[in-house]
Amino acid sequence: MILDEFVNLFDNSCNVEEIFSWKERLFQSGIVSLETLNSFYNTIKSQNKKALDRSDLTRVISTYINTTGDACVFIIMLLKRCLIKDGVSLKQIDEITKFAYKQSLNTKAKIEAREEENAQRKEERLRKLEQGLDMSKTSVSFDTARFLIRNGTSYEEMKEKVPLTLFSEKDINYIISEYRINTDEQKELISIGNVLGYDYEFHTNTNDLLKSFPSFFDSSRNDTYHLRALSMLDLTIEDGVSLLRNSFDTEPLKIKEASEGKYTIGSNGMHRFSVLRTLYLIEMMHAKGNIEKEKEIHEKYRIPALVENIDYIKTYSNYLLSVLNISDWVKKELDENHKMTGRTIVELKSGGSLTLTDEELIKYVGEVIRREKEEYSIDWMFKSNDESFLAFLSQVVPDLMDNYEYGGPKC
C-alpha cells in the first residue's frame, strides 16, 4: 500500500528531494487532500534538514498536529505506521493516538479563537477604510476597490508593481487558437501563475485583469451571473485558496493549454480565476523579487483543474492542410466513450475523407507539402519563430528543413 511504501522510505535516512518526489503520488492516490498535503510538506520543509529518518518523521507529524490542529485519517495512519515500525505496543499506540486527537482539538480551538479575533480586527479596519474610500480617485469599480482594500492594496499600487495584462489564446499563439485540436480533458495540478487569461474579447474591451472584474462581479446588476459570486470578493490572501478548495473538486476549473506551460481559462471558473489570479499577484507583489518566496507562492496557488492540452500533431496538421486548401475539416476521432481514439479524420475539399493515425498523418502532411512546394512558395512555413511549429515541421519534412534556416532559404 502506498502509505507503507512512503513510511518505508524513512527506514534509513531519506533525502528531502526524494521525500518531495512522493508528493504528487500521494495526491494522486486520493488518500489525502491537497490542503493537508501542502501543509504537511511545509512542516517537513520547516525542519530545514537535508535528510529525515523515522524519528524525524514522527517529530514532523507531532509538529504538524500541534500547529494546524489537523489529525485527519492520513496523518493518524502515518503516525500509527511509524509507531508500529518502532516496535511500540498496540496499547501505547492507542494512547498516543488518543493524545494526538486531544492535542488537535486544543489546537483547533486556539486557532479558531485567534481567527475570530483577527476577523473582528480586520472588519473594523475595513470599515474605516471603506468610509474613507474615494471612488473619484480609483479607476476600478466599487466592488473591485473594496476587494483590493481588504487585501491591503489598491489598483494604482498593483498597476505599478505587477503585470495586470490578460492574454487570450490568440495573444499567446495565434495558430493554435485558430486551429487547435485538444487532447482529452484530464485532471492536473496547474498553478494560477501559469494561467494567463481567457477569451476576454467577449467579456470586456479591456485586457486589464482588475478592470475586467465588472464582467463577473457587479452588485449593480440583477442577473445571477454577476451576483452569484460576489461573496468571492470577501476572500483574502490569507484564506482565498483554502476556502475555494472544495470547489476545485465539485466544480473544477476548466483550463486550456495555449502553448507550452501557458494556459487560459476555458468554459468554467472565470470568477474564481479572476479572484485567485489577483490574490496571487498581490502575494507576488509582497514577495518583492525574493525567488524562494515567489516559488512558494507559485506552489501555493497550484490547484487541481480539468485541462485540455494541445495535440500538436493534429493541430499543426489541421493548420497546414487548411491553409494549403486541402481539407474542409480536420478533426479528432472519438470512440463510443467520447474519448480520442488517437486517429484523425481529414475531410477533403475534393470529397471523401481519410482516417489516419498520427504516423500516417505526419506522412500525409509531408506528401502534401512536397507536392504543393512544386507549385507554390512555402518559404513562409520555415520563417516561423514558433518552436513547436518548427518541431512539427522537422517531423513532417525533415529533408526540407535542411534547405531552410530561420529567416528563409539557405543561400
Partner 1 sequence: MLKLLKMSEEEKVKFNLINKNECYILKKEDKILGFIIMDDLYIYILESERYNGYGTTLFKYLLKKLKEKNIKDFETLIPINNIIMRRIIENNKGIEVSRKESVVKYICYIE
Judged by the rule CB under 8 A, the positions of this chain that interact with partner 1 are 177-182, 199, 201-203, 221, 223-226, 254, 266-268, 308, 318, 322, 329-332, 334, 338
Q: By C-beta, is 25 or 221 nearer to partner 1?
A: 221
Q: By C-beta, is 20 or 329 nearer to partner 1?
A: 329
Q: Which of 205, 180, 145, 163 is nearest to 308 (CA)?
A: 180
Q: By C-beta, is 256 or 300 nearer to partner 1?
A: 256
- Smallest distance, partner 1 to C-beta of residue 357, A: 17
- Smallest distance, partner 1 to C-beta of residue 320, A: 12
- Smallest distance, partner 1 to C-beta of residue 333, A: 8
- Smallest distance, partner 1 to C-beta of residue 208, A: 18
C-alpha cell read off for 68: 494546524
Would you tell me how many other CB atoms lie within 10 Å of the CB of residue 278? 26
C-alpha cell read off for 217: 462581479
What sign results for the dihedral spanned by CA atoms 123, 129, 135, 138? negative
Render 34-103 in DSSP notation, one character per residue: HHHHHHHHHHHHHT--SEE-HHHHHHHHHHHHHHH----HHHHHHHHHHHHHTT--HHHHHHHHHHHHHH
What sign results for the dihedral spanned by CA atoms 210, 214, 216, 219? positive
C-alpha cell read off for 341: 481514439
- Smallest distance, partner 1 to C-beta of residue 354, A: 14
Q: By C-beta, is 74 or 198 nearer to partner 1?
A: 198
Q: By C-beta, is 94 or 201 nearer to partner 1?
A: 201
Cα gap 145→138, rounded to integer Å: 8
- CB of 353 within 8 A of CB of 345? yes
- Smallest distance, partner 1 to C-beta of residue 177, A: 8
CA dist 186 to 25, 183, 189, 338, Å?
A: 16, 9, 10, 13
Query: What is the DSSP code (8-state) at residue 230?
Result: G
- Smallest distance, partner 1 to C-beta of residue 170, A: 9
Q: By C-beta, is 339 or 383 nearer to partner 1?
A: 339
Q: By C-beta, is 119 or 334 nearer to partner 1?
A: 334
Beta 253-259 vs 302-308: how paired, if at all?
A: parallel
Q: By C-beta, is 99 or 329 nearer to partner 1?
A: 329
- Strand 253-259's sheet: what is its strand order? 186-191, 302-308, 253-259, 262-265, 195-197
- Smallest distance, partner 1 to C-beta of residue 179, A: 6
Q: By C-beta, is 139 or 182 nearer to partner 1?
A: 182
- CB of 45 within 8 A of CB of 19? no
Q: Label residue 241 exposed, middle or buried (CB < 10 Å: 0-12, 13-18, 19+).
A: buried
Cα gap 108→102, rounded to integer Å: 10
Q: By C-beta, is 107 or 182 nearer to partner 1?
A: 182
Radius of gyration of the chain from its Cα atoms, rounded to whole angstroms: 27
- Smallest distance, partner 1 to C-beta of residue 163, A: 23
Angle at 183 between CA 384 and CA 261, to 5 degrees: 55
Q: By C-beta, is 77 or 227 nearer to partner 1?
A: 227
- Smallest distance, partner 1 to C-beta of residue 91, A: 54
- Smallest distance, partner 1 to C-beta of residue 360, A: 18
Gap between the terminal Cα atoms of the chain: 62
